[in-house]
């Protein structure tokens, strides 16, 4: 039995609560095959909910998980004003195995992990900040958890599958390779659903150059579909991919930080200082020829353009626009799928994983799988 | 700390012992990050080795793991005559967490799993027999392990990643999908390295029909490279793939047995009773036109031939020769790689995993990862 507490029930957290709630119903029916995962607490930036403490000193699940959203409203008697430190202290007080699931993307929250771990709480999160910001934070998370204390049965668990490729089994596969002593030769992948979509549309292995839409048109469509950040430059500057490359590199055993990576920002230099997203979008068509030239060159050599992240243990890890032959797995990607290729001593012909790498359902699935992994280990 | 005992140190078992031995050296150096996995016993069909019992009643690791092969020779004083039941009783006697790793492909050994599990031993294996033979055996393995008793902390663990796709994260991904309540819509894949190689060579998305080698030539080359079974009909009859489809279907929650599958045996009818592998190989060229016709038809519709296994929860699961468009991930497979696509509620655009699905190094890696998963849970 593992208690679950959720920090930040936004889009992903809501979906996770929905999946957990369905699971609880499912577990009640077939509990021989499904672990029990009582949700005992939920906190957002304003309010928090905690299950009652029973007479034997255990924290009971939230009485009506389906109603948490209403109960987190300020007017509800069920919730109280949010205090993350009080929330955590309450969780620790009952001495039960408990996992804190950080569904925020906040650095401030991630900076609390070492303290939570030191108190014996397990951590599961899709939040990239703790694993891709300053090295000292990553080191502290490692030092206070099983990540850095494999043989210490009292050290709490940390899982963060959904920080790279959402629910795709990327990090758990990499951890398996590392733990068994495999040697990582190269990790290469398309880690941004947005940039996957843009270049799958722009640089197709079947369409000739003439059939290609302009780059700015594709960005406009992607923005209107909600595939990009509100300011598409936050996708095109490569920083989101760079965080994922940093995480992969660190899990692979490299002491790398964001600043160590060579990151190719594909926002045209002149547009980086455009005062607003709208101004950026208005001026982007002026650079269509630049992107079309790159694409024509690629097509001329029977390759396509893909924006990739690369972990190179013996060289410099990087984020860049690359060309791939038309029969390469990266060339035949569809929609906004992610893809990752691990080249190792065991897998000289790479181990490849591909599929949806963004979206609430698959991100929540990755978190949920991680929670079950903790539950199976406590 | 988890004791490890190996049954059947053949090609895969030897590689596993090599990986475990390197790991032990590695663990001695950096033991904060690597779990300790002492090998306490090895048994083959003739002899067995067991580590000594220490004064405090614990079983010590084998004193010189590097010398196990010599010590298993009949002349060595270190080993004794093999008795699998005595071996298991010795492991149970010390009441330490212990995993038995079955590296045989024997049904008789697999039939012992329920008894081992009932005694509290964990099981890790690449042996398909226990999971794809009669339903009653599969049910007994489930019933006596955590597979069927998710909430019982005393139930032992069973992991069998390497029964499908060797070390590729196929089954662990499927277990994650099932445990989180995802709905499996379809599982489809190329699960035989041999049949992958044969059809990747025979039916290429780039080569025109005229450039294609004859099917019998490709089988001859594959046989000479050791890619096929000694009798290639054991690959071409689809039974190995059918066992893997049975395993996937059962993990997905279906009560399916080998006999329930529609299996397309691509050995020409007239050759099934050929008296020897040599006789089969001699007569195979008579059927080249048959295979070429199929390939021409495929190429005509811009598709390629691939021999696949399909788990269909709402229809009939099957093993058959199928056609795929030239830009489909199955069409662009290389060498003898496996590939598997999970279409689910969470992944309507499938989650795809590909890479080497056979070979000692990757099979041993899959087993080793499973052993670590048990070690992390005890």
Phi, psi at B209, each rounded to 5° = -55, -35
- Residues constituting chain B: 378
Q: Using CA coordinates, name the residue in chain B closest to A367.
A: B180
The radius of gyration of chain A from alpha carbons, rounded to an integer in Å, stands at: 22
Task: Name which of B35, B147, B150 is nearest A150 (Cβ-Cβ).
Answer: B35
Does position A208 have pLDDT exceeding 60, yes or no?
no
| Subunit contact A169:B172, Cβ cutoff 8 A | yes
**pLDDT, tens digit, for every residue of B187-207?**
999 999 999 999 999 999 876
pLDDT the model gives residue A28: 60
Residue A8 labelled as part of a binding site: yes
| Subunit contact B351:A355, Cβ cutoff 8 A | yes
Does position B253 have pLDDT exceeding 70, yes or no?
yes
Does position B75 have pLDDT exceeding 90, yes or no?
no
User: What span, in angstroms and rounded, lies between the C-alpha atoms of A319 and A330?
Assistant: 15
| Subunit contact B327:A329, Cβ cutoff 8 A | no
pLDDT confidence tier of residue A211, bands split at 50, 70 and 90 = low
The DSSP call for residue A117 is H
pLDDT confidence tier of residue A134, bands split at 50, 70 and 90 = very high
| Subunit contact A169:B176, Cβ cutoff 8 A | yes
Task: Name which of B32, B147, B177 is nearest A150 (Cβ-Cβ).
Answer: B32
Tell me the residues of chain A between 243 and 302 that have a Cβ less than 8 Å away from chain B: none
More confident residue, A205 or B42: B42
| Subunit contact A180:B368, Cβ cutoff 8 A | yes
pLDDT confidence tier of residue B29, bands split at 50, 70 and 90 = low
| Subunit contact A177:B365, Cβ cutoff 8 A | yes
- Mean pLDDT of the residues in chain B: 93
Of B352, B333, B297, B320, nearest to B201 by C-alpha is: B333
pLDDT the model gives residue B73: 85
CA A39, chain centre distance (Å): 22
Of B96, B12, B115, B14, nearest to B51 by C-alpha is: B96
Tell me the residues of chain B between 10 and 39 that have a Cβ less than 8 Å away from chain A: 19, 22-23, 26, 31-36
Contact of A321 with chain B, judged by CB distance below 8 Å, is answered with no
**pLDDT, tens digit, for every residue of A167-185?**
999 999 999 999 998 999 9
| Assembly ipTM | 0.95
- Mean pLDDT of the residues in chain A: 93
More confident residue, A110 or B225: A110
Contact of A205 with chain B, judged by CB distance below 8 Å, is answered with yes
Collect all residues with Cβ–Cβ distance below 8 Å to B284 and sequence separation of at least 6.
Answer: B215, B216, B219, B268, B271
Does position B209 have pLDDT exceeding 60, yes or no?
no
- Provide the number of CB pairs (under 8 Å) joining chain A to chain B: 147
Torsion over CA: A326, A332, A338, A341 (sign): negative
More confident residue, B210 or B153: B153
Cβ-Cβ contacts under 8 Å, B345 against chain A: 361
Q: Within a 10 A sphere around the Cβ of A104, how many other Cβ atoms?
A: 21
pLDDT confidence tier of residue B336, bands split at 50, 70 and 90 = very high
The least confident of A51-55, A108-112, A245-249, B225-229 is B225-229
Does position B208 have pLDDT exceeding 70, yes or no?
no
pLDDT the model gives residue B27: 62
Does position B287 have pLDDT exceeding 60, yes or no?
yes
Contact of B362 with chain A, judged by CB distance below 8 Å, is answered with yes
Share of chain A above pLDDT 70, in %: 96
What are the start-end ranges of the H helices in A149-192? Answer: 171-179
**pLDDT, tens digit, for every residue of A298-325?**
999 999 999 999 999 999 999 999 999 9
pLDDT the model gives residue A32: 57
CA A287, chain centre distance (Å): 31
Q: Using CA coordinates, name the residue in chain B closest to A350.
A: B355
Structure tokens at A369: 């799988």
Structure tokens at B233: 């009909």
User: What span, in angstroms and rounded, lies between the C-alpha atoms of A345 and B62?
Assistant: 27
Q: What is the DSSP string of B153-167?
A: TTSPPEE-GGGSSTT
Closest-CA distance, B25 to chain A, in angstroms, reads: 11
Phi, psi at B205, each rounded to 5° = -70, -15
Does position A352 have pLDDT exceeding 90, yes or no?
yes
Of A13, A14, A222, nearest to A105 by C-alpha is: A13
User: What span, in angstroms and rounded, lies between the C-alpha atoms of B136 and B125?
Assistant: 19
**Which candidate in A244, A302, A320, A323 is catalytic?**
A244
pLDDT confidence tier of residue A75, bands split at 50, 70 and 90 = confident
Closest-CA distance, B276 to chain A, in angstroms, reads: 34
Q: Using CA coordinates, name the residue in chain B closest to A154.
A: B376
Interface test with B, best of A143, A170, A181, A336 (most B CBs within 10 A): A181
**Mean pLDDT score, B172-195:** 95
**Mean pLDDT score, A114-129:** 98
* Domains (range + CATH), chain A: 3-167+361-377 (3.40.50.720), 179-356 (3.30.360.10)
pLDDT confidence tier of residue A33, bands split at 50, 70 and 90 = low
Cβ-Cβ contacts under 8 Å, A181 against chain B: 19, 22-23, 26
| Subunit contact B351:A350, Cβ cutoff 8 A | no
**Mean pLDDT score, A190-201:** 96
Does position A234 have pLDDT exceeding 80, yes or no?
yes
Residue A13 labelled as part of a binding site: yes
Contact of B325 with chain A, judged by CB distance below 8 Å, is answered with no
Q: Label residue A258 left, alpha or beta by phi (over 0 means left) and psi (-120 to 50 means alpha).
A: alpha
pLDDT confidence tier of residue B217, bands split at 50, 70 and 90 = very high
| Subunit contact B151:A36, Cβ cutoff 8 A | yes
Cβ-Cβ contacts under 8 Å, A172 against chain B: 169, 172
Cβ-Cβ contacts under 8 Å, A361 against chain B: 345-346
Cβ-Cβ contacts under 8 Å, A146 against chain B: 376
| Subunit contact A150:B335, Cβ cutoff 8 A | no
Cβ-Cβ contacts under 8 Å, B168 against chain A: 351
pLDDT the model gives residue B135: 97
**pLDDT, tens digit, for every residue of A246-271?**
999 999 999 999 999 999 999 999 99
User: What span, in angstroms and rounded, lies between the C-alpha atoms of A169 and A366?
Assistant: 8
| Subunit contact B180:A365, Cβ cutoff 8 A | yes
């Amino acid at each position: 039995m593992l208690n679950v507490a959720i920090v930040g029930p936004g889009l992903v957290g809501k979906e996770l609560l929905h999946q957990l709630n369905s699971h609880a119903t499912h577990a009640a029916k077939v509990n021989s095959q499904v672990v029990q995962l009582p949700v005992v607490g939920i906190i957002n930036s304003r309010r928090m909910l905690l299950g009652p403490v029973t007479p034997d000193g255990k924290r009971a699940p939230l009485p009506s998980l389906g109603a948490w959203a209403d109960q987190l409203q300020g007017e509800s008697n069920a919730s109280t004003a949010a205090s993350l430190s009080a929330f955590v202290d309450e969780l620790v007080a009952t001495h039960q195995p408990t996992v804190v699931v950080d569904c925020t993307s906040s650095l401030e929250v991630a900076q609390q992990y070492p303290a939570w771990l030191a108190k014996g709480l397990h951590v599961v999160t899709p939040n990239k900040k703790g694993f891709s910001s300053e090295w000292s934070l990553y080191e502290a998370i490692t030092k206070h958890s099983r990540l850095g204390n494999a043989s210490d049965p009292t050290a709490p668990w940390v899982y963060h599958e959904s920080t790279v490729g959402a629910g795709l089994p990327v990090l758990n596969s990499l951890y398996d390779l590392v733990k068994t002593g495999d040697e990582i030769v190269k990790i290469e992948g398309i880690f941004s659903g947005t940039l996957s979509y843009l270049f799958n549309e722009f640089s197709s292995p079947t369409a000739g150059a003439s059939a290609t839409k302009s780059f700015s048109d594709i960005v406009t469509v992607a923005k209107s579909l909600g595939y990009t950040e509100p300011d598409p430059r936050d996708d095109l500057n490569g920083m989101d991919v760079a965080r994922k490359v940093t995480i992969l590199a660190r899990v692979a055993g490299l002491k790398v930080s964001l600043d160590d990576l060579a990151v190719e920002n594909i926002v045209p230099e002149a547009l980086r200082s455009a005062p607003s997203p709208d101004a950026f979008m208005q001026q982007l068509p002026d650079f269509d020829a630049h992107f079309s030239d790159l694409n024509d060159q690629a097509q001329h050599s029977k390759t396509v353009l893909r924006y990739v992240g690369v972990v190179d243990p013996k060289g410099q890890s990087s984020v860049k626009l690359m060309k791939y032959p038309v029969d390469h797995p990266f060339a035949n990607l569809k929609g906004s799928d992610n893809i990752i290729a691990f080249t190792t001593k065991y897998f000289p012909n790479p181990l490849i994983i591909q599929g949806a790498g963004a979206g609430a359902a698959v991100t929540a699935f990755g978190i949920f799988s991680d929670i079950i992994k903790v539950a199976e280990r406590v």
